[in-house]
A and B are shown apart, each in its own frame.
Chain A
Amino acid sequence: MKKNLFMILLGLAVIFLQTWLFPNILPFRLKPDLFLIIVVYIGIYAEFHRGAAFSLLFGWFQDVFAGNAMGLFGLVFLIIYFMVRYGAARFNAEALGTFYYLVFFGTLVEAFLVCFFQTFFTEAGMLWYVVIQGLFPQLLLNMLFAFLFLRVLVLLQWTTDGIVPVPGRSFRD
């Protein structure tokens, strides 16, 4: 129960960061995709059902504040979550490189899926052009924030006596 509440509050905090803080402090009003980074993380470490449920919920949170089609990011994040789980079962998921690789790969998949669903299901106009234009800065930002996310996790690992798993570090490093 506590874990679930924490995740919901985390989702709301991410919304605040994405919609208010980052556009105000980052140049060109760019923002990283924190929800994607979290989905990749829970894809590696969370229990199967809980991870799927929160990927869907975080996607819907993103939908409330992004674009004009409710359910798009819910579907996209759920697909990414299953892909990460599939990949994590085949690679050394706890290696640091794998996490960065999955965030990088996840960003590309997200961009492709958003374009795909919007183009095939709605009147998306030139969305692919907007996505391609912003893809490189988005990749850079996501990698940078994945690095910062891991720093925060390391701090959490210290304060929680090693309960929080961090890619690239054993539980009680």
Chain B
Amino acid sequence: MLDWLRKFRKAIIVVVLLLSALLFYSINLRDREKTTLFEKVVLEISSPFEMAFDYSVESVMDWWRHYVWLVSTAEKNRLLEEENRQLRAALLEMDEIRQSNERLRKLLEFQEKTALAALPARVIAEDSSNWFRSIVVDKGSSDGIREGMPVVAAEGIVGRIIRSSPHVSRVLLITDASSALATLSQNNRARGVCRGQGGFLTMEFTLRQKDIKVGDRIVTSGTGGVFPKGVPVGSVVRVGRKSYGLFQSVTVVPAVDFFSLEEVLVLRGEEK
């Protein structure tokens, strides 16, 4: 027996390891809404670096614009040119502040409109794989964030919290392939389920006799139990109706531009 074990030691280790990894994966699938201790530890360890880099990039850019750039111009150009550039730098900075104010104002307006208490958060990192769509925000369970809470931006729905450690959380975007939300067309109230397709969404189970047109706005229906009713999801860009079948195929472009998402609101369950 011992000889047999010794002979197949490597093969046994391979099988045991693979089965353990598969078991770990399947156990976690059952408890998907729970953040494991391992995840909390890794999220907490990595978040200070991500936050620090995220915040410091703006300072470095500022320093670059205000110091390095001006020193080099002073060496090259006359006083007028320097002044001109200084003004342009100031304009750029003003523009950045204006854009930031604009975004925050929209968020604030949204926060005032919604009946649920909202917590603003900043996007600090993204999904580490190209196959999935998620982001990391700088607020966690110590700020009252729990798994399952909806996340929105001024333009519309963003996703929901899937992992939460004390100071950071992960948000599964609505464009992720495993994401699905109950929606309806704002014009004719046709219902459907919007599923993520990476860069866009498809609205499924929409009855083919419902008249959905390109340009129609799609909003959350509030029936899924996660997202509040009436939050913009996106707009219809393509409608396909075959001559047979119960449903039509509707392609929806999300209202939120996920490439330039910087601030979000996490909607907490309780009323304001």
CB distance from B136 to the nearest CB of A (A): 7
B25 engages A71 (CB within 8 Å): yes
B45 at interface, CB cutoff 8 A: yes
Indicate if the CB atoms of A78 and B177 lie closer than 8 Å: no
Q: Tell whether B228 is near chain A: CB-to-CB under 8 Å.
A: no
In the bound complex, what is the Cα–Cα distance between A24 and B10 (angstroms)? 42
A164 to B28, CA, bound (A): 37
Residue contact B198 to A130, C-beta cutoff 8 Å: yes
B124 in contact with A20 (CB, 8 Å): yes
Q: How far is the CB of A54 from chain B (nearest CB, A)?
A: 12
Interface residues of B, count at CB 8 A: 52
Which A residues touch B170, using CB under 8 A? 65
Name the prevailing secondary structure of the A interface residues.
helix
B172–A68 contact, CB under 8 A?
A: yes
B73 within 8 A of A: no
Q: How far is the CB of B133 from chain A (nearest CB, A)?
A: 8
Question: Within the complex, what minimum Cβ distance (angstroms) separates B218 from chain A?
Answer: 17
Q: Is the CB of B18 within 8 A of A20?
A: no
Task: Determine, out of A38-46, A96-104, A116-124, A149-157, the stretch whose residues face the partner at the interface.
Answer: A116-124
A19 and B129 alpha carbons, distance in the complex (Å): 8
Q: How far is the CA of A35 from the CA of B128 in the complex (A)?
A: 10
Closest to B28 in A: A70
A62 interface neighbour in B49, B129, B196, B259, Cβ under 8 Å: B129
Contact status B18-A75, CB under 8 Å? yes
Quick one: CB contact mask for A103-136 with B, threshold 8 Å, 1 for yes?
A: 0000000010010011001111111011101100
**Which of these, A48, A69, A72, A138, contacts B130 with CB under 8 Å?**
A138
* B196 contacts A125, C-beta separation under 8 Å: yes
Decide if B139 is an interface residue (CB 8 Å cutoff). Answer: no
Interface string of A16-49 (1 = CB under 8 A from B): 1011110110000111010100000000000011
Q: Which residues of B lie under 8 Å from residue A19 when comparing CB positions?
A: 46, 50, 125-128, 136
Bound form: Cα–Cα A36–B196 in Å? 25
* Inter-subunit contact B125/A122 (CB<8 Å): no
Cβ of B253 to closest chain A Cβ, rounded Å: 16
Chain A residues with CB below 8 A from B39, complex form: 63-64, 70
| B132 (CB) vs chain A CBs: closest residue | A67
Q: Is A147 an interface residue (CB 8 A)?
A: no
Given known A-B contacts A29-B259, A65-B136, A82-B18, A127 and B46 have beta carbons under 8 A apart: no
Is B21 a contact partner of A74 (Cβ separation < 8 A)?
Answer: yes
Contact between chains at B131 and A68 (CB < 8 Å): no
B91 contacts partner chain A, Cβ-Cβ < 8 Å: no
**Within residues 222 to 251 of chain B, which ones have a CB less than 8 A from any CB in chain A?**
none
Chain B residues, CB < 8 A from A129: 177, 197-198
| Contact, CB under 8 Å: A68 / B17 | no
Known: A12-B45, A68-B178, A127-B177. A18 touches B198 (CB 8 A): no
Q: Which residues of B contact A138 (CB under 8 A)?
A: 130
Q: Are B178 and A118 in contact (CB under 8 A)?
A: yes
Q: How far is the CA of A22 from the CA of B24 in the complex (A)?
A: 29
> Does A88 touch B at the CB level, under 8 Å?
no
Tell me which residues across on chain A come within 8 A of B22, comparing CB atoms. 75
11 additional A-B pairs beyond A16-B46, A71-B27, A125-B196, beta carbons within 8 Å, are A20-B50, A20-B53, A65-B127, A65-B170, A67-B131, A71-B28, A73-B129, A123-B180, A130-B197, A133-B198, A138-B130
| Interface residues, chain A, with chain B CB atoms under 8 Å away | 12, 15-16, 18-21, 23-24, 29-31, 33, 35, 48-49, 52, 56, 59-75, 78-79, 82, 111, 114, 117-118, 121-127, 129-131, 133-134, 137-138
Closest A-B pairs by Cβ, 10 of them: A71-B25, A66-B129, A18-B128, A19-B125, A130-B198, A127-B177, A65-B128, A67-B132, A70-B28, A75-B21
- Supply 18 A–B pairs (Cβ within 8 Å), ascending by A: A19-B46, A19-B125, A20-B124, A52-B13, A56-B17, A56-B21, A62-B129, A64-B42, A65-B129, A65-B170, A70-B24, A71-B27, A75-B24, A78-B21, A118-B177, A125-B178, A125-B180, A126-B177
